[in-house]
Chains A and B, each alone.
Chain A
């Protein structure tokens, strides 16, 4: 596809359920980021992959959050035993290069998670 895609776009979960959110980055992009955006706030960094390697997971709020990118393309963010405070929009972004030099991040439309 032309841009970053995410699925599902909307997810409603009962408290305690596990959820899996998928991100398809732009083809060939080395870097992949996950961000969490609470209502009315800016996105907050969760984790970063360079190809299949998870190089930074400093933003994951608890050990209930787990992300993977096993083949260096599609990524999945999994949240176990969801809590109401997990309700947010989860954004995925990708960029062409890896490393620490700045390059533009392209964002997907996000998955809105509502935990009841």
Chain B
């Protein structure tokens, strides 16, 4: 039978198109937000981070946007490739909680050839 927790939100995207993955957070006391990519059987891999006093940060093919007004974080992947297929997690570092990270629930990205 099915296991509880397997029903991750899934984003299906055509190869070459842009992907947008969204994340809502609740704690306004977080000072850093981080996006991780996790492939099956592997640990989370760092993609990009953004400090809470910034609105936008760009990396190679990726852009993170932070909207503190509505407590929303997004990851944009340009020209999505088959190797981008994975589960993506947002995480936050809370100021009063040392360096431990609090992760969101994850979004599965499936890239169609």
Chain A interface residues toward B at CB < 8 A: 4, 31, 33, 35, 38-45, 48, 55-56, 59, 91, 93, 95, 99-110
> A45 and B46: CB pair below 8 A?
no
Interface string of B34-53 (1 = CB under 8 A from A): 10100001111110010100
**A41-B46 Cα distance, complex, nearest whole Å:** 17
**The 8 residue pairs across chains A and B that have the minimum distance between CB atoms:** A42-B103, A40-B5, A107-B43, A45-B100, A40-B6, A102-B32, A107-B44, A42-B89
Q: A43-B101, A110-B42 are in contact. List 8 more A-B contacts (CB 8 A).
A: A40-B3, A42-B89, A42-B105, A44-B103, A45-B100, A102-B49, A104-B49, A109-B42
Contacts of B1 in A (CB 8 A): none
- Report how many residues on chain B are interfacial, defined by Cβ distance under 8 Å: 31
What are 8 A-B contacts with C-beta separation under 8 Å?
A42-B105, A45-B100, A48-B98, A48-B99, A95-B99, A105-B99, A107-B36, A109-B41
**A4-B43 Cα distance, complex, nearest whole Å:** 10
